[in-house]
Structure 1
């Protein structure tokens, strides 16, 4: 990588304000010599830093662009085999980004397919249903009002009502609802032999159900607490977001930059060739510049392109080496995680790794941002290995991730009729030597998307 430039500015000296007299003990006005050091961020240094902090998809885009723009740059022969078959030097592109996770059909596609099987139906009615399908939010709720739909499509109100009934008869149950209560009632309608208390609670007492006010509801509705609990359990089994499962969201590409594999009793770090392409300079163009002859302007152009390509190749190799060194240090520090899983992830910060590999913290930060490692326990962003810690006995520390793993396991294995309270979970952690407050337990539980003990309670 390019070096930071050191500028030394020398200022000319002149006589003091009072000729023949210099007061060296007190500050004053005047001209004097002074050397100053200043770090200058050159364009080459900016490029090197930028390449280091790029994620893999961003890097591949940049490499593709450089291959197209610079005629002297090419994929190394040994590296090209790891890329798509038939990738040419120019114009073919890098068809690498095919690592998107499979996703389910969209909600719109799912509903359109069902609509195609509903016969007979007038063209107008089908047009209204299609319009409604196209105006569902990601939860499956209908956004425009029926009056707005009638006005927009220039149709009668009763036709819109008919179209809504068709939409709400489709799967998933609850789709096409205009609010939470209607969504839940549509699902209850599809349930066989549900208690009449269920729709009653949904229509008039949903807030009390959310707060699990069993005794209060039993008194108000003149029902037994057992009947109220059974009705609550039915409501809690319903899906308030029926369309969410079909919402694919943005397609995310995840190409691991490094692999951490277990070989025998050791863990070996290796770079993923598809994530860090090896580049080289075209030998024919290099010889043309070295041998001279030909057009002077062409030789000058090629010389400039060769210098730019050589620097770009060095940046790519430096990025590869830096990410490898940082990952190797992380693997050594997080050996228990690699051996036993997330519950054994230990607290760690950037400074620890920076000191270990003799790099600045900012360099380690850039080397881990947006980079992924494939481990025996799955694919993780390198920043995952720098969790915060909580206090533990004997001066040790436990990572927040390991605490969350314990919390999730205890909650999944608990007796649902007597779920663990946050205080009970804090006590269980204390028994393992992890000092943590009830409030912190509640925070971690919410980050895991787990409900409170009151809402987890089942008969």
Structure 2
């Protein structure tokens, strides 16, 4: 076989990941708060991007008051395959103003079969309007840490070398309030006597919160019992035998403590009032509330679905500034740079608009599929997969996956991650429709919550009761769901309820 160079013509198809396509895919996966940071970075890089309303000498140019063009009304899959050149001519945002609803659910009367709440621009925000409520989150001051709290107190009661050693002890206390250092090692490192370190630790253990500086749970509870003046010999022996208490060995504990049944129950009740993690009362950082990306509400039997625009700034293309820069650009390099900025700005506005449309489209289909959940509760949650939603809205499964990542939905039943509505199914024992795993978990929880303390339900009994309700479920699945709910076995629940009953 002879080897020789030759020319061949071949035709093939390939998907080129342009920067614009990569950006559009990235936008789908971001939550509203992450998107706000992303937009801020883009505004810093692109001088033609701006937030808020923009007025010109010749007339109002406010993208947030104008609907999208026909090209912007494409599906999410189409925009991901659209190039920047095609989008540049269609992103003037001079469209039908009736395509959008107002900024809040209170002003919106859209429904599943009508216009669903979108704002003027693709990331419009009602928060920028005049007269908005104050941002209380920005008023929060830095929260004091447990270490700072203890050092402030130590400085008031100790000084000199004692304060120096106390500082090193406090530095080794974790966020729960427990000392995580070996005293002998600490004494050798600081070149002080072990007796002095133990004495200073005793001083640290008198600080607020009570129980801080303990080396284990027993010592933590003992410190709180001493503070409450309840640390008598009987309580001391009870605290020294917490392992027996965990096992529910009440007769053995009564013999060890030398008390009768009533006194033992009183001591156990006292222990329950103590805090096993006293350090968690101080510091730990501010709790970050989940900000929903989509609002769901029902009015007059119809569902209203709206993207939470309050967490997003309005993104506009500043055409006034573009005109000024264009008149001043003389060389080809400056003109090319300016045109590139305009194309990028137009593409970002269009991509943001399509992101919101896609989120609403997916949320709408979720509400259609899980309508019984929104009306009646988790027991009526249906099995649902990403593929099923993708087929219904005629998008790719990966697009639905990106849209539901890190997104939260707020409704009358609470705030849920969009992924929550996608669950596996449990077949019906009667041949009917399958039930979701979350629905089965809710039935298991209800059965355990209502069980008679004298007749604790075993996993086998739970299987029988669930099958009577129409769920074809195995014992190992019941055990897995029960453990996922944080509920103990029948033996553990029997001991727990026996202790609760005697303490009451």
TM-score by structure 2 length? 0.71
Give the counterpart of 1:440 among 477, 482, 504: 477
Alignment match, 2:200: 163
Alignment match, 1:299: 335
Aligned equivalents of 1:443, 1:223: Cα separation in 2: 40
Report the CA distance shift for 1:107/1:213 in structure 2 as closer, same or farther (over 3 A). same
CA contact (8 A) 1:125 1:163 kept: yes
Alignment match, 1:363: 399
CA contact (8 A) 2:381 2:436 kept: yes
Aligned equivalents of 1:50, 1:58: Cα separation in 2: 11
What residue ranges of structure 1 are gaps of 5+ in the alignment? 1-15, 19-29, 87-94
1:455 deviates by 4.6
Aligned equivalents of 1:124, 1:453: Cα separation in 2: 51
SS at match of 1:380: strand
- 2:298 aligned with 1:258: no
Alignment match, 2:103: none
Report the CA distance shift for 1:129/1:411 in structure 2 as closer, same or farther (over 3 A). farther
The alignment's C-alpha RMSD in Å is: 3.9
**437-446 or 76-85, which deviates more:** 76-85
Deviations 1:44-71 (A, max 9, x none): 2112111111222221111001111111
Report the CA distance shift for 1:168/1:415 in structure 2 as closer, same or farther (over 3 A). farther
Give the counterpart of 2:126 among 45, 60, 82: 82
CA contact (8 A) 1:289 1:303 kept: no
Give the counterpart of 2:184 among 122, 138, 147: 147
Alignment match, 2:100: none
Give the counterpart of 2:237 among 189, 192, 200: 200
Alignment match, 1:334: 370
CA contact (8 A) 1:342 1:405 kept: yes
Ranked by relative contact order (alpha carbons within 8 Å, sequence separation 6 or more), the top structure is: 2
SS at match of 1:336: helix
1:138 deviates by 2.3
Alignment match, 1:248: 284
TM-score by structure 1 length? 0.77
CA contact (8 A) 1:112 1:130 kept: yes
SS at match of 2:50: strand
SS at match of 1:40: coil
- 2:367 aligned with 1:391: no
- 2:14 aligned with 1:38: yes
Aligned equivalents of 1:389, 1:455: Cα separation in 2: 33
1:337 deviates by 2.0
What residue ranges of structure 2 are gaps of 5+ in the alignment? 54-63, 65-120
1:368 deviates by 0.6
Alignment match, 1:6: none
Aligned equivalents of 1:102, 1:404: Cα separation in 2: 41
- 2:144 aligned with 1:108: no
1:283 deviates by 1.6
Aligned equivalents of 1:398, 1:195: Cα separation in 2: 55
Alignment match, 2:171: 134
- 2:383 aligned with 1:347: yes
